[in-house]
Structure 1
Amino acid sequence: MAKQMQIPQHQSYDIVIIGGGIMGSSAAWFLSQDKSFDGRVLVVERDTTYEFASTTHTNSCMRQQFSTRLNVRISQFAADYVKNLREHMGGDERIPQLSIRSFGYMYLADTEAFAQVLRRNQKLQIAEGAATQLMDAAAIKKAYPFYNVDDILLGSINLVDEGYWDGSTVFDWWRRKAQEAGVEYIQNEVVAMSQNEAKNRVETVTLASGEKITCGKVLNASGPRAVRTSQMVGIDMPVEPRKRFSWVFSAEKPLDRDLPLTIDPSGVHVRENGGGTYQCGGHSGFDPAVDYDDFDMDHDIWQDHVWPILATRIPQFDAIKIQSEWVGHYAYNTLDQNAILGPHPIVSNFYFVNGFSGHGLQQSPAMGRGISEIMVHGAYQTLDMSPFHFDRVTANEPIVETAVI
């Protein structure tokens, strides 16, 4: 590690969190607020500038349009949390009042099979209290005249609690308030762990700076590096880094109204960014796992794949100028693109908060709350997150979530 490593203040901690991004910091904050827990917490983060972290490469949007009830409820809590951030964080007047810019997600279906998926999902979402609407091509064209809908059979959109939110502010305040409450953050790296003779508990973590720290529990919040962390205690998990490309561009002819986060049937997505600018994301058809440090941009993807799709779907985007571009990593769960959460069934004091496959930021309030509950109380106190437990990985029983971008 090129950056300066920091040494922990103590030799023993009740909980060591490996990774200080959005998930690790959410967990740290919720742990610090649990009146049943007065233990010592250490957060070990490789790079506290978060230059290459998934947290800082996000689109920072949230949606209610999922196909499983649990994922919908997780997003509903996130929306409430963001809109009432100050109240949720104890009424601290330093914390800003946030809102959600609800331009919605627009799923576009160009086949009857995909249209059926949208219909099925909308029924479930409505049953859970979401405001999802289905729109045929004519209705889409009337509401959003800039779309080319010649090939579109059906659209799905929700204009309530679905759109952009300021994820970086929530992250910053979780980290800041956790530290004020006594959670210790250091820039360092966990490079090894030791277990007891029965191999059912982690006893120590070893840092890159050489210290060996005794720990009561360990939380794997390592993002795309999750499997590297779990392998230190002999656990394989189906999480790998996948490249995701993002572009911000200006249009010569800006749209006359907000652009929903539009998910083209090709998988390319684009949304309103403000001030006549737009943010677009996508990846190549060949989507392998990549090296943890591979953030090289592939300019051919934009020129040969993404821009032609944009200009076809929204003809006003035939004349645009890229303002910035970057590459981030999904912590991609190859089993089912859903979270892996909770304790390991054998290594009982090793916990997961991993594998979010692109919807981690919007799920971070519920995930941080849930993992803190089960680590402190041994059971969930609010929303039952047990379907996300590691048991389904070992049983090869995926959670089928059809609304994955």
Structure 2
Amino acid sequence: MTSADFLKNINNHLWVVNEDPVDLQFNHSGYLFLASEKSAHIMEENYRTQRHAGAKVALLSPSQLKERFPWINTDGVALASLGLENEGWFDPWSLLNAFRRKAMSMGVYQCFGEVTGFRCSSNVAEIADGDFVDVKRIKYVNVQMPNSLEYQPVESAVVVNAAGANSGKIATMLGIGLGPKESISGIPFPVEPRKRFVYVVHCPDGPGLDTPFLIDYSGVYCRREGLGGNYLTGMSPEETEEPDISNLDVDDKFFQEKVWHHLANRIPAFEQLKVSSAWAGFYDYNTFDQNGIVGLHPLVPNMYFATGFSGHGLQQSPAVGLAVAELILDGGYKTVNLNAFDLKRIFLREPILESNIV
């Protein structure tokens, strides 16, 4: 909700003098989740949580769903949840460029390079009877610049690890997870790349302008893309069928064998669709509980983490960025309390699990 308010008032935050206003192309069509009989009770619990937090959502019976969206096949649907405001989609590059442009207008220097290592000071600390750990403080970040044969040491008082799918790799460079398995230093940082496919399909007779972002209980999602009968669709694979992350090649068979059947079953018009393009990208997948990890690591007290959002990072980024800034500058949260997403839940083995999400 904090992020939605930020996006709706984007030019109050990110407009730059003498530049064009920011246009995120924010489409407020909402999210429509479908639940089977087996998962309807979870949707009802989520609905109560959302309403308690002030979110505007509504539950729809199958008949109400069919009346509102006649193009949906309601077979197998026991309940639906529709977001009435603050939900939809926007242009991600416009938001990223707006953040970058505003930051640079305020004096931030942008450079591009690959982190190859760290220079740290080190102290041994006792955290329990007879349990000693190596606590590191980052002094320099080694950065390999493009077309350079040597790395450049960048002096750093504070480091924010917002490296997305590569954030776990960076944590390993600091020795996180490489200690004895029975020690806190042996608990790995649980973020890794997971490849996901997005398919653009064309269907002239598909759902119209009132189409929300549809998430079927099969895991297939779909939303309208522009006004020309194009739609984005995809789904996450089973854990045992995760695709190879050594490249960003698209698996066309995945659409044919996994996505299309569920998509056409829920929206019969899509039996006549045609795939026009597709791409692949990486999620910063949190293998522990698929939720974001925000805060300091106890073994590296000047590295803040903001990662592991498992596909939800961009939409949560305005709130998370504000929260991390408050952690750094004020030593605690002032606006949005994100203590639930602290790293300590990983060490305590207390996951925050959600259901009925995409």
- Give the TM-score range, shorter chain: 0.7 to 0.9
Alignment match, 2:57: 132
Alignment match, 2:46: 121
Using the alignment, how far apart are the partners of 1:289 and 1:304 within structure 2? Answer: 15
Amino acid corresponding to residue 173 of structure 2 in structure 1: M
2:216 equivalent to 1:264 = yes
Alignment match, 1:200: 136
Alignment match, 2:338: 385
Larger radius of gyration: 2
Amino acid corresponding to residue 151 of structure 2 in structure 1: G
Once the two structures are superposed, the pairs formed by residues 227-242 of structure 1 within 5 Å of their partners are: 227-235=168-176, 236-242=188-194
Among 196, 210, 214, which residue is 1:244 paired with? 196
Q: Deviations over 1:323-378 (max 9, x none)?
A: 21011111110111111111112211011011000111110000111111111221
Using the alignment, how far apart are the partners of 1:247 and 1:310 within structure 2? Answer: 12
Instruction: Report which stretch shifted further, 373-382 or 281-290.
Output: 281-290
In structure 2, do the counterparts of structure 1 residues 172 and 293 end up closer, same or farther at CA, with 3 Å as the change threshold?
Answer: farther
Alignment match, 1:168: 93
Amino acid corresponding to residue 221 of structure 1 in structure 2: A
Alignment match, 1:219: 160
Question: Where in structure 2 are there 5+ consecutive unaligned residues?
Answer: 124-134, 145-149, 177-187
Alignment match, 2:349: 396
Once the two structures are superposed, the pairs formed by residues 1-400 of structure 1 within 5 Å of their partners are: 76-89=1-14, 92=17, 94-96=20-22, 98=24, 100-111=26-37, 113-198=38-123, 199-208=135-144, 209-235=150-176, 236-275=188-227, 276-286=229-239, 293-400=246-353
Using the alignment, how far apart are the partners of 2:156 and 2:316 within structure 1? Answer: 27
- Report how far residue 167 of structure 1 moved: 2.7
- Report how far residue 176 of structure 1 moved: 1.3
Structure 2 SS opposite 1:301:
helix
- Report how far residue 197 of structure 1 moved: 2.6
Amino acid corresponding to residue 80 of structure 1 in structure 2: D
In structure 2, do the counterparts of structure 1 residues 339 and 369 end up closer, same or farther at CA, with 3 Å as the change threshold?
Answer: same
Using the alignment, how far apart are the partners of 2:299 and 2:312 within structure 1? Answer: 28
Identity of aligned residues (%): 36
- Report how far residue 291 of structure 1 moved: 6.0
In structure 2, do the counterparts of structure 1 residues 290 and 207 end up closer, same or farther at CA, with 3 Å as the change threshold?
Answer: farther
In structure 2, do the counterparts of structure 1 residues 288 and 227 end up closer, same or farther at CA, with 3 Å as the change threshold?
Answer: farther
In structure 2, do the counterparts of structure 1 residues 316 and 131 end up closer, same or farther at CA, with 3 Å as the change threshold?
Answer: same
Amino acid corresponding to residue 234 of structure 1 in structure 2: G
Alignment match, 1:31: none
In structure 2, do the counterparts of structure 1 residues 227 and 97 end up closer, same or farther at CA, with 3 Å as the change threshold?
Answer: closer
- Report how far residue 200 of structure 1 moved: 2.8
In structure 2, do the counterparts of structure 1 residues 190 and 257 end up closer, same or farther at CA, with 3 Å as the change threshold?
Answer: closer
Q: Deviations over 1:285-315 (max 9, x none)?
A: 3456666542121111111111111111110
Structure 1 SS opposite 2:300:
coil
- Number of equivalent positions: 329
Amino acid corresponding to residue 303 of structure 1 in structure 2: Q
- Report how far residue 403 of structure 1 moved: 3.8
Using the alignment, how far apart are the partners of 2:222 and 2:108 within structure 1? Answer: 38
Using the alignment, how far apart are the partners of 2:163 and 2:243 within structure 1? Answer: 16
In structure 2, do the counterparts of structure 1 residues 256 and 386 end up closer, same or farther at CA, with 3 Å as the change threshold?
Answer: closer
In structure 2, do the counterparts of structure 1 residues 312 and 90 end up closer, same or farther at CA, with 3 Å as the change threshold?
Answer: closer
Q: TM-score, normalised by structure 2?
A: 0.87
Using the alignment, how far apart are the partners of 1:298 and 1:291 within structure 2? Answer: 10
The answer to whether the Cα contact below 8 Å between 1:341 and 1:388 also exists between their aligned partners in 2 is yes
- Report how far residue 94 of structure 1 moved: 2.9
Using the alignment, how far apart are the partners of 2:96 and 2:341 within structure 1? Answer: 23
Cα RMSD after superposing both structures: 1.8
The answer to whether the Cα contact below 8 Å between 1:243 and 1:283 also exists between their aligned partners in 2 is no
Alignment match, 1:59: none
Q: Deviations over 1:129-151 (max 9, x none)?
A: 21111111111111111111121
In structure 2, do the counterparts of structure 1 residues 250 and 90 end up closer, same or farther at CA, with 3 Å as the change threshold?
Answer: closer
Using the alignment, how far apart are the partners of 2:240 and 2:195 within structure 1? Answer: 8
Using the alignment, how far apart are the partners of 2:278 and 2:264 within structure 1? Answer: 18
The answer to whether the Cα contact below 8 Å between 1:122 and 1:132 also exists between their aligned partners in 2 is yes
- Report how far residue 80 of structure 1 moved: 0.7
Q: TM-score, normalised by structure 1?
A: 0.77
Using the alignment, how far apart are the partners of 1:287 and 1:176 within structure 2? Answer: 41
Using the alignment, how far apart are the partners of 2:257 and 2:279 within structure 1? Answer: 17
